[in-house]
Chain A
Amino acid sequence: EDQVTQSPEALRLQEGESSSLNCSYTVSGLRGLFWYRQDPGKGPEFLFTLYSAGEEKEKERLKATITKKESFLHITAPKPEDSATYLCAVQADGNKLVFGAGTILRVKS
């Protein structure tokens, strides 16, 4: 069964304090790994797609990387507006997305 585990469950950072979020996955036939951001009361917002080990994607203060077993979302010098829940999802054979429980990030100024 396809599984996605995200850690930590919650993370508190000071503004400017860089850190990483982890997404461990077990899937047969990975077709893609996806990162989303979800603000309270909103639907998830797509951030990145990663397809194979070694691939990296960047957007502003965010950088996503992937190995054969896990993906990381690196946040460099975060700002309060980066506070949100970050969700990781995998797409395997059958094509449906399997989401992790998410990491709640809070950045304090």
Chain B
Amino acid sequence: KAGVTQTPRYLIKTRGQQVTLSCSPISGHRSVSWYQQTPGQGLQFLFEYFSETQRNKGNFPGRFSGRQFSNSRSEMNVSTLELGDSALYLCASSRTANTGELFFGEGSRLTVL
């Protein structure tokens, strides 16, 4: 059974650019959550999608956005990148929404120069 797949695994951007990250959940999982992981702040919740609807949102600026498609695949976008956006972005999937039992991907490592 394939796990959660995130692409790209690594990317380098410059300040002011935008970036789109992709996540394919485990087959049959309809909920996708996104987290940001940094050494200073740890794991922080960005948002959760279920059946193409955003169910929950963390305390991040509007530059961070996401969406979910009908096949449950999800994308997140960060516009006008700042140096502080450098982080590991983790996607997690689950069969249902509002559960803490998540299956994480290996993440997309974003470096902003």
Interface residues of A (CB under 8 A from B): 31-32, 34, 41-46, 49, 87, 89, 91, 94-102
Q: Is the CB of A34 within 8 A of B56?
A: no
CB of B85 within 8 A of chain A? Answer: no
Q: Is B104 an interface residue (CB 8 A)?
A: yes
Interface of B is mostly: strand
Among A31, A34, A96, A100, find the residue whose CB has the most chain B CB atoms closer than 10 A. Answer: A96
Question: CB-nearest residue of chain A relative to B45?
Answer: A96
Q: In the complex, how many angstroms separate the beta carbon of B60 from the nearest chain A beta carbon?
A: 12
Query: How many B residues are at the interface, by size bracket?
Result: 20 to 34
A41-B106, A43-B105 as given contacts; A91 in contact with B100, CB under 8 Å: yes
B112 within 8 A of A: no
Residues of chain B with a CB closer than 8 A to A45's CB:
104
Please name all residues of chain B whose beta carbon is closer than 8 Å to the beta carbon of A43 when the two chains form the complex: 4, 90, 92, 104-107
Q: What distance in Å separates the Cβ of B30 from its nearest Cβ neighbour in chain A?
A: 15
The A-contacting residues of B in range 40-98, CB under 8 angstroms, are 42-45, 48, 55-56, 58, 90, 92, 97-98
Check A99/B43 contact, CB under 8 A, given A43-B4, A44-B90, A94-B56. Answer: yes
Residues of B within 8 Å of A44, CB to CB, are 43, 90, 102, 104
Chain B residues closer than 8 Å to A91, beta-carbon distance:
98, 100
Q: How far is the CB of B98 from chain A (nearest CB, A)?
A: 4
Contact at A97–B104, with CB atoms within 8 Å?
no
Q: A43-B104, A96-B56 are in contact. List 12 more A-B contacts (CB 8 A).
A: A32-B100, A34-B101, A43-B105, A43-B106, A44-B102, A45-B104, A46-B101, A49-B101, A95-B56, A97-B102, A99-B42, A101-B42
Residues of A within 8 A of B56 (CB): 94-96
